[in-house]
Amino acid sequence: MSKIFKRVTVFLLLLVLCSNVTLSNAAFANKHETIIDGHKSNFVILNNDLQNFEYTYDENGKSFKVFEITDATLKHVDSKIFQKNENGNYELFLTLVTEIEDGIATLTTTDQDGTVSTESTDLNPFIESIEKGSDIVLDFNDSPKLNTPLFSTASTSLTNWKYSAELKGSNAFVKYTVLGIVATIGVLVAGALGGALAPAVTAGLTSIASAIIADNLDIVYYKQYVYYKYIIDTNLPRAEWTSTQFYESSQRTQAQKIGDTISHEYYVPGWS
């Protein structure tokens, strides 16, 4: 077994441990049951602060308003869904609490009558496509696969960026809120080594999640390039850089791309 294949295998196993979604037999295909079945329309974001995220939409002839809260870890999401009544006032319809711990995704739902239901799902990895690479130098200004002039790492103890793999997969959303999708795809973007996502990254993911709901997309496809910096003369990664793109179709053409390319860079504490 090659060193690169071992590294990709480790990456995928770690991804499962830090993931917070249910996976199916498409690569990282995440399944969520519907909150309300129907076609969403008139989707409007009223506030895009993660501590007070608010939006409205229509579905099945009814109007809804959603308030959501999460933090930088994206491991806990509180969602409250309100439905507009005959008098034009919003009444609490449903609350959702999503928590991720030790590779288990737990969703607690409370309805109008106070009935509480809890679902816990183990994470289960399946791979659609992996293209393994070998020490290709990263270029921030062009295609991630081009071998372009070298740039120096910040630490003399680490290698320069080395291309590890291209991953392809899909997310089949059946139950989601905006921040639920952000949490889901945020885990993928964070990669194997993880680390909190920068505000700019989270903002990009929020834009993509909003488009997924506004366009009523049940399945979203992604392509991700993965790079590592290793301790010199070892196979131990101490930094990771991911470049992830999301698409409306498995063809993954530029015209089908959703939002901007999301880049995430992370160094293990103590390394820079």
Q: Is 7 exposed, middle or buried (0-12, 13-18, 19+ CB in 10 A)?
A: buried
pLDDT at 246 over 90: yes
Rg of the chain taking only CA atoms, in angstroms: 20
pLDDT at 148 over 50: no
pLDDT digits (tens, 9 = 90+) for 98-114: 877 765 667 788 998 99
At 150 the pLDDT is 35
pLDDT at 253 over 50: yes
- The b-or-e profile of 131-170 (16+ CB within 10 A means b, else e) is eebeebbbbeeeebeeeeeeeebebeebbebbbbbbbbbb
pLDDT digits (tens, 9 = 90+) for 180-205: 888 878 878 888 887 888 999 999 99
Question: Which residue is associated with the tokens 């979604």?
Answer: 21
Residue by residue, DSSP assigns 166-205 as: EEEEEEE-SS--HHHHHHHHHHHHHTTT--PPPHHHHHHH
Residue 18: partners with Cβ closer than 8 Å, 6 or more residues away: 103, 187, 190, 192, 194
Average pLDDT of the chain?
Answer: 76
Residue 198 token pair: 């920068």
At 184 the pLDDT is 77
Indicate the pLDDT class of residue 43, thresholds 50, 70 and 90: very high
Give the residue among 234, 236, 227, 237 at the shortest CA–CA distance from 151.
227
pLDDT at 169 over 50: yes
What integer is the mean pLDDT of 30-36? 40
pLDDT digits (tens, 9 = 90+) for 119-134: 876 544 344 667 776 5
Percent of the residues in the chain that have a pLDDT greater than 90, as a whole number: 39
pTM of the model: 0.74
At 149 the pLDDT is 33
